[in-house]
Amino acid sequence: MMQQLGHTPQFFLTAPSPCPYLPGQFERKVFTHLVGDRAAELNDVLTQGGFRRSQNIAYRPACESCRACVSVRILVREFEPSRNMRRILKMNADLIGEERNPEATAEQYSLFRTYLDARHPDGGMSDMTMLDYAMMVEDTHVPTRVFEYRFRGPDSGVTGRGEGELVAVALTDRLSDGLSMVYSFYNPELERRSLGSFLILDHIRRARGDGLPHVYLGYWVNGSRKMGYKIRYQPQEHLGPSGWQRFASPELSR
């Protein structure tokens, strides 16, 4: 159940625009601002209610004729990796993720651009400048962290940090009940490593280590192939009219 806030935030509704996931559909979003001393508390409540954060805005779909977007969160305490997930973890055991303050760097932006140009050249973020990227990372009033992943080096056992080139980045909010993965990107040339999956698995590990019950993955869009990966991480809950309910796909097997 969502907790109650002492002050009700103002919500706004966007005009319809073409849906980036389902051809022929139009999306609308309801949004509010995450600013001030209670931004973290508001972000907690709204995320538990199906909202996502982008900079200092919290939003969720409010489409008139479609309900395909469904909020997804992984049940961390019950999660057991599949055989393929264990293979991914083993393959990436030579990577170390360092937790950092939400500060944008030129190195991050270079990897971000490489990722977008290879994976989403025509997407809505394709024309983002370094300033745009810095705002995405730094324009936050909630507890946000940046995880940078690099290869292990000779001194990693002492410093606890990876060395060499940056291979993956995750922008993540820390909530009272979990970790919310806001955005992640990685070196597209390392395709065999399945770095996107590895970042989710590493966040599950981190949440479990911190005693947090959930990892929030944003929206699963039924009918969109690019969002299909989110239901692989079982068990998980989906947010519906009656609240968060356990979901299991009959198509998945371990």
Position 228, amino acid:
G
User: What are the per-10-residue average pLDDT scores of the chain (254 residues)?
Assistant: 59 93 92 94 96 96 92 98 98 97 98 95 88 97 98 84 93 98 97 97 98 97 85 96 86 50
Q: Given this model, what pLDDT does residue 204 score?
A: 98
Q: Which residues contact 200 (CB under 8 A, 6 or more apart)?
A: 74, 181, 215, 217, 233
pTM for the model: 0.92
Give CA–CA dist 218/51, Å, rounded.
Answer: 8
Q: At what angle do helices 195-209 and 83-91 cross, to 10 degrees?
A: 90
Q: Given this model, what pLDDT does residue 7 score?
A: 63
Q: Given this model, what pLDDT does residue 156 score?
A: 81
Strand order in the sheet with 144-151: 95-100, 144-151, 163-175, 178-186, 214-221, 69-75, 236-240, 243-247
Question: 201, 81 in Cβ contact below 8 A?
Answer: yes
- pLDDT tens digits, one per residue of 202-213: 999 999 999 999
Q: Given this model, what pLDDT does residue 4 score?
A: 47
For the chain, the domains span 12-68, 73-247
The answer regarding whether domain 73-247 maps to CATH 3.40.630.30 reads yes
The DSSP bridge pattern shows strands 214-221 and 178-186 to be parallel
- pLDDT tens digits, one per residue of 81-93: 999 999 999 999 9
